[in-house]
Amino acid sequence: MRRLPAALLGVVALSGCSGGAAPAASTPEPAGSGAAANAPSSSAPAAASASPQSGELIGVLIAAGSGSSPAAAAPVDSEKQSVELVYVESKPQKPPLKRLFFNVTLRNQRTEPRWFLLPSVVHPKDKMLKGGIDGVEVCTLQGGARVIAGRFLGTGGFQAVLLPPSAEVKLTKMPVDCWYPTLKECAVPIEVVIARQLTLGGEPAESWLGDKPMSDARGEASFESAKRASGKHAPGNKEVPAALTETNKVHLSLVISGG
């Protein structure tokens, strides 16, 4: 993948159990990515020095509290935190669902752990972090690194990985469900988030991921080898709000080849 300037490179995280289960029939809207309405216009990614390669996520770093306007000069420590995503392939499911697969590199060069959050699906009515969470599916990815991936379920659902300080891990074949009729329509603006803390209904998200929620700091792991580790439901299976502290947001445009 051709590298882009740090301020324009796709930045953030993802995860979820292998295969990324489709939303239940009783759920009117699949959980997933941030609303496209908050994304910058198509002219923002054009600041890159060249056209993006198929499958790259590119965007402008949005400093915490800056709304939808790109920061004039992003903080150095924010630029060091990043995720690179490269589109690998698509597999058709029950129409209109398609499962997209990405290779992902996550980096946390802070001196404290950080949560990396990415959508679990792309859909016209996604409400990542704007709806509630009613449960989580926890998987352990196998390979040269041990990575704990949480797929948080509900109308505000997302996928998340908690990385220790000075971490860099590569995740292969990460699934994201696409509910648009064509791959071309899956090329939508999304928002991804890095956070110091994540809570669900006032409870630390670490307690939702089991006894050892922190992933390894170095190595490579595959979603194809994911093993279900545990799961948890909110009390009464009722959605609880997700809350974040010390966040950095990135608005990205997803570029995918195909029809």
The model's pLDDT over 77-97, given as tens digits with 9 standing for 90+, comes to: 444 447 777 888 999 999 999
The label of the residue with tokens 């903080």 reads 75
Contact 14, 118 (CB under 8 A): yes
pLDDT above 50 (res 240): yes
Measured distance CA(105)–CA(239) in Å, rounded: 31
The domain limits of the chain are 6-254
pLDDT at residue 76, as a whole number: 35
Q: Nearest Cα to 215, choosing from 160, 158, 259, 154?
A: 160
Strands, E assignment, the chain: 57-62, 82-92, 98-108, 114-118, 121-122, 132-133, 135-143, 147-153, 158-163, 167-178, 189-200, 203-204, 218-233, 240-254
Neighbours of 256 (CB within 10 A): 21
Report the predicted TM-score, pTM, of the whole model to 2 decimal places: 0.71
Contact 120, 31 (CB under 8 A): yes
Mean pLDDT over 235-250 rounds to: 90
The model's pLDDT over 51-64, given as tens digits with 9 standing for 90+, comes to: 333 333 433 333 33
